Amino acid sequence: MRNVTPVSPVSGKSFMWILPLIVVLMCVFAAFDAYFTVSAGNVAVKLRFGKLVGAYGEGIHYKMPFVDSIEKFSVRIKKDSFDTEAFSKDLQTVGLTLAVNHRIMPNTVESIYRNLGPEYTNTILKPAVEEWTKAVIAKYSADSLIANRVEVARELNDILKAKMAEKEVIVSDIAITNFEFSKQFLKAVEEKQIAEQEAKRATNLVEKVKKEAEQKILQAEAEAKSLRLQREVVSDNLIKLRQVEAQLRAIEKWDGHMPHYMAGNQMPFVVAK
């Protein structure tokens, strides 16, 4: 005959209290789980057993506890950086780092979740950036990319804005933050710059010598012209000066007597005393 352990009245009473407590706690948890909050700058989609059943903006919203799940998205401008490689027009390998500012519109979140998924940045935006970067870089030679950096970024920006708008993703700005080239190419560019600087220096030297020679020629011509004018002026004045000097010497030698003349057929002759 088996021994039957009698149930303690205290244990049974405790179980009767625990069950209602569990029910109450579940109800409280369900009540809290029945609402969700969407903060400023965000939107949300509601899924019921994995099926999209609605999109929600800022505020407090209801959902079925233990049944509905919530996925939230930011509609603020988001900045992503992408590293990619492309070939230039002259077949040089170019590494680029691009910073892309983008966002989604609140009224498109349902469509984006359904068509692109929550990871649209990696599934749609990044491949588009890589594809069109290669297309644009191929238009430029490697040595012109740095000089035309702003133009390249502007062209990429225009293309990506149009292409991503078709996917309901707004690209507000794109910037090229870094260019990388092979060591061989950088060395060739450096040697070219040195050669251009030396050629420019030589050209400047030639121009300097040429200008100095021209200045000397002009100076010599000016001096020759000055001497020629001086000779012309001196010749006339010198004759007059010599005449005046001769008169002065004659006056200095005059003793106060009038000169004597001899008459005759010949020219008068002055007899000095």
Q: Does 7 score more than 50 pLDDT?
A: no
Q: CB–CB of 93/87 below 8 Å?
A: yes
Residue 269: the pLDDT is 44
User: Mean pLDDT across the stretch 240-261?
Assistant: 64
Residue 1: the pLDDT is 47
Domain ranges of the chain: 9-73, 78-181, 183-254
Least confident window among 106-110, 121-125, 203-207, 225-229: 225-229
Residue 256: the pLDDT is 60
Distance linking the first and last C-alpha atoms of the chain: 200
% pLDDT > 90, the chain:
11
Residue 264: the pLDDT is 52
Residue 178: the pLDDT is 83
Question: CB burial class (10 A; 0-12, 13-18, 19+) of residue 65?
Answer: middle
% pLDDT > 70, the chain:
64
The structure's pTM equals 0.55
**Average pLDDT across the chain, whole number:** 76
CATH number of this structure's domain 78-181, picked from the four choices 2.60.120.10, 3.30.465.10, 3.30.479.30, 3.60.20.10: 3.30.479.30
**Which tens digit of pLDDT belongs to each residue from 74-96?**
888 889 999 988 888 888 888 88
